[in-house]
Amino acid sequence: MFIPPLKFSTVQEGFYRGAYPREINFPFLESLSLKTIVSLTPSPVTPETDPKLYDFATRNKITLVHLECEQSGKGKKRGVPLGYSTVLEALDLIIHTSHSPIYVHCVNGGQVTSLIVACLRKLQFWTSLTIFNEFINYTTNITLNDRNFVEGFRGDIQVDSSDKVSWLWNGMSNGVVSNHPMIKIHQSDI
C-alpha cells in the first residue's frame, strides 16, 4: 500500500513537501526515487534519533539533510521558527537538479515547510496573494509574523545554470530574472 506522508503535495516536478515521514510512508516515498530528504526539524535524523528513517534513506541511497528549525508554536501569535539563512540553504538544494527528486518536510508539514515554499514562490515572481493562498492550504492560519517573514525575504542566491531545475523561471528572460526586486541572483554556467 502506498500511503503518502500527511500534507503531502507535489510543489513542482521533482519537488515534494509534507510532514515528517513515518514507516508507513516509506513505500510511497520509495516510489518517488528520491535523491534528497530535507528535514526542517529541531533534531537531525540519525541512527539514534530515528533508526527506521535513517535505514530507509541509507538503503535507498537518499541523502539526508538537516536544517535546524524550532518546533512551530500554536495560535495567532506564533513566531517564525527559522531564519532567512535557513531558507536560502533550503532553496539552494531545491533549485538544483543534482538534489532532485527532493522531499522537504517539517514536523507536521505546515508552517515551516510552507514558509520555505512561500519564499521559493517569491523567488519565482509569484504575487503575495497567490503565495498566501497556497500557504493557507497547509496551515490552519497564516499569521502576521508569517506574512512579514515572506514579504521581508531577501538574500543572495547562487544559481548554477547547468544544474538549475527547468521549472524555476519558466518563460522569463535572464533580464527579468537578474533584476528581481528583492533577491540578488547570481547565475553561473559552471
The active-site residue, picked from 34, 37, 62, 106, is: 106
Q: Give pLDDT tens digits for 100-142.
A: 999 999 999 999 999 999 999 999 999 999 999 999 999 878 8
Q: What is the pLDDT of residue 76?
A: 54
Question: What is the average pLDDT across 82-107?
Answer: 96
Residue 7 and residue 17 in contact, taking contact as beta carbons nearer than 8 Å: yes
Q: Would you call 69 a catalytic residue per the annotation? A: no
- Under the banding of pLDDT at 50, 70 and 90, the label for residue 177 is confident
Please give the torsion angle defined by the CA atoms of residues 137, 177, 98 and 34, in that order, rounded to the nearest 10 degrees: 10
Q: Quick check: 71 pLDDT over 90?
A: no
Q: What is the pLDDT of residue 2?
A: 94
pTM: 0.92
In the chain the domains, ranked by start, together with CATH numbers, are 9-188 (3.90.190.10)
